[in-house]
Amino acid sequence: MAIAVAGAACMVFVILGLLVYRAVSSITAIQFDEMLQQQAVLALRYADHEYGEGETVVPRSLTTTAAAMPFEVVYQIKTRVDHQLLYRSPGSPQAPLAVGDGPGYSNATIDGRSWRVYSLSSGATPLVIHVAEPLAYRAALLSRTLRAVALPLLFALVLLTALIAVVTERAFRPVRRIAADLAGRGADDLSAVNTAEMPIETHALGVALNGLLARHAEVLARERRFTADAAHELRTPLAAVRVQAQVAARATTASETRRALDKLQANIDRTTHLMSQLLSLARLEPGSPCGAGQVTPAKVVVDLVLEDLAQAARDKQVEITIAGCSQALPGSPEVLYLLIRNLLENSVQHACKGGRVALEVTTDEQCAMLSISDDGPGIPMAERSRAFERFYRIPGSASGGSGLGLSIVGRVVELLAGDIELSAPAAGTGLVVTVRLPFTSVQVQGRTAA
């Protein structure tokens, strides 16, 4: 992190240095050009005055070799008509500084030296002046200026890099402590990390990490509870299967063997049903798909459930009546199947022999409502609060259920953001289960489109 920030700072300083270089170079060139122009104007004004007085502007000897001072300005004066050189300042090259008499700036290279030249013609006399300055002077001055600017920039860059390293190290010190804490923990230690000393920049990370640990702890606890419950509940039917197998092995007559095998098959069916419900319950843990935004015709699910429960209903001579199944329900077919299957199976299992079970589906703009009633013994008011617990059976109940049916129903209703209510019928005995499932805005649109 510190290296990346320091690299970004270096890039910013490089760009800043280039911008400073261009700005200083441009401003320096403009200022020197303006000085050349001013000197040309002054020198030409003096030459015009001397030329108007009839005096020569040419020195006594053009061969004067007086050495120019380093980086001084030189100039040449000549006539515009015949291009005769009238005067050359000391240090000026023998060759003309500029070709032509047009005013303006130009660059010239004479005898290996580069010059910046400004040419100016007189309006009153036939004189032309060329004022020049060595470009090396500008380059040297620009170099000194840039060195003077670069040193503070380099010092600022070094200081900024050091500050970035210190601040980053202090900012991520709590993160490193958390990393060390997590590295030293056991696989089962999902306690929250300490975020009290974390800076505001990384505090959200610590809070999110604690939330993740809490969710993982909840999932782990649920898995442990599920494993313990499954092991406990499977022990009894498996023991019964073992006993019936032993009875069948010791049977001496065909009738005894037949009875033992029938009981063995019944126990195997019970165990299979229990395993099926355990797997259904496991699939309904947090994160399982529940068909958010999806609607399913109730008839599709109900027909499938009735087909599955037909044999059980015939065995108990229970009549199942259906009403309102032309409506659409919120949720996926798989989740709704678990809901309706367990509700109807629970009602058929507890209904009186030769009794009845009724399912009614109604909907409005906000929610769908399922009402399932039977004429069985019902659930006492004191026991209804525990009816949705896993493996809970009503004391004294004659049914051989696993105690998972209503647990699966409650979990499905929770996933679909609905609510469920247990009540007694207005007359007689039995149980009425009312489930309300709200429609989301997306599901309302799906119902409209359908």
Distance CA 448, CA 255 (A): 62
Q: Is the pLDDT of residue 67 over 50?
A: no
Q: What are the pLDDT digits (tens) for 265-308?
A: 877 876 776 677 666 666 666 555 555 668 888 888 888 888 88
Mean per-residue pLDDT of the chain: 79
Q: Nearest CA to 265 among 241, 249, 233?
A: 241
**371 pLDDT band (50/70/90 cuts)?**
very high
**434 confidence band (pLDDT: 50, 70, 90):** very high
pLDDT of residue 235: 67
CA 273 to chain centroid, in Å, comes to 43
Quickly state the pLDDT bin for 436 (edges 50, 70, 90): very high
Q: Does position 402 have pLDDT exceeding 60, yes or no?
A: no
Cα angle 406, 407, 409; round to 5: 60
Please say whether the beta carbons of 16 and 153 come within 8 A. Answer: yes
Residue whose C-alpha is closest to residue 23's, from 142, 125, 185, 174: 142
Higher pLDDT, 13 or 279: 13
Highest mean pLDDT among 237-251, 293-307, 395-409: 293-307
- Which of 156-170, 213-227, 242-256 shows the lowest mean pLDDT across its residues? 213-227
pLDDT of amino acid 68: 41
- Two tokens, residue 242: 């073992």
83-97, 194-208, 293-307: lowest mean pLDDT where? Answer: 194-208
Position 70 scores a pLDDT of 44
User: At a CB cut-off of 8 Å and minimum separation 6, what does 56 contact?
Assistant: 50, 86
Calculate the alpha carbon distances from 376 to 344, 346, 355, 386, 437 in Å: 13, 10, 8, 18, 25
Question: What is the pLDDT averaged over residues 12-26?
Answer: 82
Supply the DSSP symbol for 400: -
Q: What does the pLDDT read at residue 245? A: 84
Report CA-CA distances (Å) from 350 to 2, 340, 397.
69, 15, 9
Are 58 and 127 a contacting pair, CB within 8 Å? Answer: no
> Looking at the predicted structure, is the pLDDT value of residue 86 above 70?
yes
- 8 Å CB contact between 361 and 324: yes
- Domain segments of the chain: what residues? 2-157, 200-278, 288-449
Tokens of 157: 């860059």
Higher-pLDDT residue of 396 and 383 is 383
Rounded mean pLDDT, 16-40: 85
- Does residue 61 register a pLDDT over 50? no
- Asked if residue 222 has pLDDT above 80, the reply is no
**Fold classification of 2-157 (topology level):** Beta-Lactamase (3.30.450)
- The packing angle between helices 173-183 and 200-250, to 10°, is 10
Question: Residue 64: what pLDDT?
Answer: 40
What average pLDDT does range 259-269 have in this prediction? Answer: 79
Name the CATH superfamily, with its identifier, for domain 288-449. Answer: Histidine kinase-like ATPase, C-terminal domain (3.30.565.10)
Strand-pair category, 113-121 with 104-110: antiparallel
Query: Could you please report the per-residue DSSP string of 212-267?
Result: HHHHHHHHHHHHHHHHHHHHHHHHHHHHHHHHHHHHHHH--SHHHHHHHHHHHHHH
- Considering the entire predicted model, what is its pTM? 0.48
Q: Is the pLDDT of residue 352 over 80?
A: yes
